Structures are given as C-alpha cells and as structure tokens.
C-alpha cells in the first residue's frame, strides 16, 4: 500500500530545500513592520523549527509513512493565527500533502511570512492556494484563534467539518532534581515568542517547599534579559499594579513570577505547589487548557517550541481529520 511519504516525500524535500535558502529580506522587513511582537531572532527560530523539524526527511518519513496515500480533491479553509511566526504553516502543509485545495485567511499580523511560505508549498506540491472569500465553498475548515473568533467561525461554516483551536497554555513540572542546564533551558520554553504561543510555558508546578526565588535564579542564569520595548512596557505596568494592590509576586527583573493558575499578562508566569505525583497527574489530566507539559518524563526542557509533526495541536490529528472529512 502506498503511503503519504511515498507520494509526497520528494515534495517535502523540495519544500525544505527552498525554505532553507532563508527568508528574503523584503519579506522579513514586512513581517517585522506588521507585528511588533515579531523579532528577527524569533522568525529565524521558527523557520529553523520548520526546516529542521517537520521538514527533515527522516522526521517526515516517520510522520507520513503512517498514513495511506490520499488525494482528497476537496477544499479546506485554513484560518490562521498570527501570534507567532508562520503559525499557519503546519495546517497548510497537512492540506497540501493530502491533495486539498486551500482557502487561506491570514492574520494581518503574519501575512508576509505566510504568503512567502504558501508560494513555496504551492510551487512544490501543486496545491491550489487562494484567499478565502465570501463566496468560497469549503468542504472543511481548520481554524485557530480566540474563543470569540471560534464562535464566529462556527456560525460562518455551519454544517461542514470543523477543527477549531482556541486559547491554551503550557506548563512545566519541577521535581527538584533538575540540573542547572535544564532550568536554564526552561527559559526558551517560556520566553521564545514572548510567551504568546500555546506551547509557551506560562505555569510552573513546584514541589511543596521549593523556593520560587531559587527557580528564578536558575531560569535566568546564562540567559540574556529580554530587551524589547513592548515587553518592558507590559512588565513595568504589571509590576506597578501588583505593588499598588499589595499582591504577592517575585520579580525576575523583566518578568513576574506569581502564585496562581492563570497569567494576567504576557510578562507574568504563574506557579503552584503540588504534594504528590499522583495528585499532580490527576490535576493536569483534569485540565482542558494545557497544550503540552515540560519536565522529567515529559517534553525535555528547551524543546517545547520544537514540536514534531505528530505532536498535533490539541492532540487532534489534522491528516486524520482531513481524511475523515473527505469520506
């Protein structure tokens, strides 16, 4: 039986080759101008995660060999988030390798990068990629966005197959045996993309008795402080509000570590204590807002922002969704 890798592996290698050339400077300049939260470093990090992660030939083979060849011929609307660079790339790639026509709706915050990536994917796969319009007739929709956006999408695409993703966070579990290097790597899991991605760690579970100030010292050790005007504006405002309201927090110098379960702003990381592994496992399993968990026996420290293609967002297999919708 022919697999998706048999039929699409060569196209994946071609996409990787083209994207490995790097982002043209005019595209980079537009991307930086359109989104104040995009930096050249984060854009290049996102590109490396795509090129060296999901498009690596060995990884693509492991991923796509598990699916039979399919050429659905259906049209899928892909509504893209713009919180991190090229957030919509993976959904577009899944549609292309399953033979779908793709109606894209860009985020205004990530249009330049996605148009560049779309041209490469379309050129290498032959996929028909066009803008989603009011009269576009889609057979299925894949969308990422806010809870409010999800309500609008449900109404707009009522009656067709939908894969909707809304706001999620990620967490880290500290057990007290972490090395200094591991906790330094946690910095990447937290602060890459300024905590704006669903795979950014914004809550940390600590064992009872673990000093939060020690955690801060080890996270910042060996890492450069964030130098970014919008971030520091948010940090100063949050610190002032916490101080005026008499709310507890630990000051990391450019971020706040606060007791609680939900961050109130981008520069705030929350923490809570756990008493036993069984209780912690039950708590995490009972939450429906956690995208991924970093820690020993979980995602390794420093790897949250480099998911493999089979690490599907929200645990929903995009290719299986497309195949099911085509039946």
Q: Are 45 and 305 spatial neighbours (Cβ–Cβ below 8 Å)?
A: yes
pLDDT value at residue 148: 81
* Residues 210-268: tens digit of each pLDDT: 999 999 999 999 999 999 999 999 999 999 999 999 999 999 999 999 999 988 899 99
Helix (H) or strand (E) holding 79: strand 75-79
Same CATH topology for 4-167 and 169-294?
no
- Alpha carbons 126 and 96: distance in angstroms, whole number: 8
Residue (of 73, 74, 76) closest to 162 by Cα position: 76
Total Cβ atoms within 10 A of residue 61: 15
The pTM of the full predicted model, rounded to 2 decimals, is 0.94
pLDDT value at residue 262: 85
Average pLDDT over residues 64-90: 96
Burial class (CB in 10 A: 0-12, 13-18, 19+), 24: exposed
Burial class (CB in 10 A: 0-12, 13-18, 19+), 73: exposed
* Residues 130-166: tens digit of each pLDDT: 999 998 999 999 999 887 888 889 988 999 999 999 8
pLDDT value at residue 1: 78
Average pLDDT over residues 3-32: 98
- Residue ranges with strand state E in 90-215: 101-105, 129-131, 140-144, 161-165, 169-173, 201-207
- Alpha carbons 34 and 195: distance in angstroms, whole number: 19
Total Cβ atoms within 10 A of residue 110: 25
Banded model confidence at residue 117, pLDDT cuts 50, 70, 90: very high
pLDDT value at residue 162: 96
Banded model confidence at residue 54, pLDDT cuts 50, 70, 90: very high
Does pLDDT of 327 surpass 90?
A: no
Superfamily covering domain 4-167:
Aldehyde Dehydrogenase; Chain A, domain 1 (3.40.605.10)
Q: What is the CATH number of domain 169-294?
A: 3.40.309.10
pLDDT value at residue 97: 97
- What is the domain partition of the chain in residue ranges? 4-167, 169-294
Give the SS3 label for residue 274: strand
Question: Strands 250-251 and 256-259, how do they pair?
Answer: antiparallel
Q: Are 89 and 114 spatial neighbours (Cβ–Cβ below 8 Å)?
A: yes
């Amino acid at each position: 039986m022919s697999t998706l890798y048999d039929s699409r592996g060569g196209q994946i290698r071609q996409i990787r080759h083209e994207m490995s050339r790097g982002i043209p400077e005019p595209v980079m300049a537009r991307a930086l101008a359109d989104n104040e939260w995009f930096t050249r470093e984060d854009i290049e990090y996102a590109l490396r995660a795509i090129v060296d992660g999901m498009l690596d030939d060995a990884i693509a083979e492991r991923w796509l060999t598990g699916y039979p060849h399919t050429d659905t011929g259906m049209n899928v609307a892909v509504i893209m988030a713009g919180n991190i660079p090229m957030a919509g790339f993976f959904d577009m790639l899944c549609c292309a390798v399953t033979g779908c026509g793709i109606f894209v709706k860009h985020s205004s915050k990530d249009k330049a990068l996605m148009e560049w990536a779309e041209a490469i994917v379309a050129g290498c796969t032959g996929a028909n990629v066009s803008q989603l319009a009011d009269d576009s007739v889609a057979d299925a929709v894949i969308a990422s966005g806010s809870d409010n956006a999800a309500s609008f999408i449900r109404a707009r695409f009522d009656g067709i197959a939908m894969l909707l993703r809304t706001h999620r966070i990620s967490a880290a579990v500290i057990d007290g045996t972490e090395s200094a290097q591991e906790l330094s790597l946690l910095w990447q899991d937290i602060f890459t993309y300024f905590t704006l991605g669903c795979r950014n760690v914004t809550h940390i579970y600590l064992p009872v008795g673990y000093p939060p100030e020690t955690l801060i010292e080890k996270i910042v050790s060996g890492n450069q402080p964030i130098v970014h005007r919008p971030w520091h504006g948010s940090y100063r405002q949050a610190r002032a509000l916490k101080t005026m309201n008499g709310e507890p927090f630990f000051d990391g110098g450019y971020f706040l570590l606060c007791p609680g379960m939900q961050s109130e702003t981008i520069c705030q990381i929350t923490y809570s204590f756990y008493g036993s592994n069984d209780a912690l496992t039950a708590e995490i399993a009972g939450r429906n807002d956690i995208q991924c968990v970093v820690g020993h026996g979980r995602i390794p420290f420093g790897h949250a922002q480099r998911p493999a293609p089979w690490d599907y967002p929200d645990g929903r297999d995009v290719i299986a969704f497309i195949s099911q919708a085509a039946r």
